[in-house]
Amino acid sequence: ATLESDLRQAIHEGQLQLYYQVQVDRDRRPVGAEALVRWMHPLRGMVPPAQFIPFAEESSLILDIGHWVLDEACRQIAAWSHHERTRQLVLAVNISARQFKQPGFVEQVAAVIRKHGIQPARLKLELTESIALEEIGVITAKMHALRSELGISLSLDDFGTGYSSLSYLKRLPLDQIKIDQGFVRDMTVDSSDAVMVKTIIDMAHNFDLEVIAEGVETAAQLELLEQYGCVVFQGYLFGRPVPAAEFEAHL
């Protein structure tokens, strides 16, 4: 079988699963999670997204996967809304550029929110700078509809690795930017990465955006990030991506 037919089957036979990685505030309190898809292949075992998402993005498969992820994430938000310790969490979902650009994307998100009866404020979409390759007016209109009309929040993922300019950042209706983990990884040993991180944090605050650092693995990284004014964190230091039951047990 080809990867494509395998993956098509995976979606329909329930082989995809979401893992959840905690996001914490300055007091190390859980404030949210990022949903990360995994493929539980019957023969190959757990296949990480890096091995099938880029492939899926070359075809319309990413639209099916994206829709499944959104539906499953909203189902999880609904389940969490019944429990004291999870009801305040905001769940972030990765959205491919192709999925975002799909006509009817806003309506799809609205329909999934309605289906599960969740509060829109519990859902966050992570977009990447590659969406900015489309016409700016189209993107901002879509983002505005998601944010102001539906009431969900928007984060710009992998920030610093793409090509978007400051003027884009000024115009895009965003709530948060995510500092790419590549900068965080080396910030305590490479001063140019440290400058990058500090500059992104300052810029985010000047644009009134929340900033989250991802890939935080060490206490030294955390200390420097706090010194630079970052107050929301994600990374192995706080928790790895895990299945929902394990995530809930560790809260």
Q: Which does 120 bind (CB under 5 to 8 A by kind): Mn ion, Na ion, ligand G, none?
A: none
162 is an interface residue for ligand G by CB under 6 A: no
Convert residues 82-101 into a mask of x (bound to Mn ion by CB under 5 A) and - (unbound).
Answer: ------------x-------
d(CA 100, CA 143): 9
Task: Give the Å distances, CA to CA, from 73 to 19, 61, 68, 83, 115.
Answer: 10, 18, 8, 16, 12
158 is an interface residue for Na ion by CB under 5 A: yes
In terms of Cα–Cα distance, which of 111, 30, 103 is closest to 63? 103
| Least separation in angstroms between CB 181 and Mn ion | 9
Alpha helices per DSSP H over 134-175: 136-144, 166-171
Residues 6 or more apart whose CB falls under 8 angstroms from that of 39 comprise 7, 10, 15, 16, 17, 46, 47, 49, 51, 52
**Which segment (46-54, 166-174, 186-194, 225-233) binds ligand G by CB under 6 A?**
46-54
Q: Residue count at the site for ligand G (CB under 6 A)?
A: 20
d(CA 194, CA 184): 8
153 is an interface residue for ligand G by CB under 6 A: no
Footprint on residues 126-145 left by Mn ion (CB under 5 A): 126
217 is an interface residue for ligand G by CB under 6 A: yes
* C-alpha angle 129-192-238 in degrees, rounded to nearest 5: 70
Which residue lies nearer to ligand G by CB, 49 or 162? 49
CB atoms within 10 A of CB 103: 7
DSSP conformation class of 48 = P
Q: Which does 53 bind (CB under 5 to 8 A by kind): Na ion, ligand G, Mn ion, none?
A: ligand G
| Least separation in angstroms between CB 158 and ligand G | 5
Which residue lies nearer to Na ion by CB, 118 or 179? 179
Contact 20, 34 (CB under 8 A): yes
Identified binder of ligand G from the candidate list 86, 94, 164, 176, rule CB under 6 A? 94
69 is an interface residue for ligand G by CB under 6 A: yes
DSSP conformation class of 122 = G
Q: Which residues contribute to the site for ligand G (CB under 6 A)?
A: 21, 36-37, 48-50, 53, 69, 94, 96, 157-158, 181, 214-217, 235-236, 241
Q: Which residues contribute to the site for Mn ion (CB under 5 A)?
A: 94, 126, 157
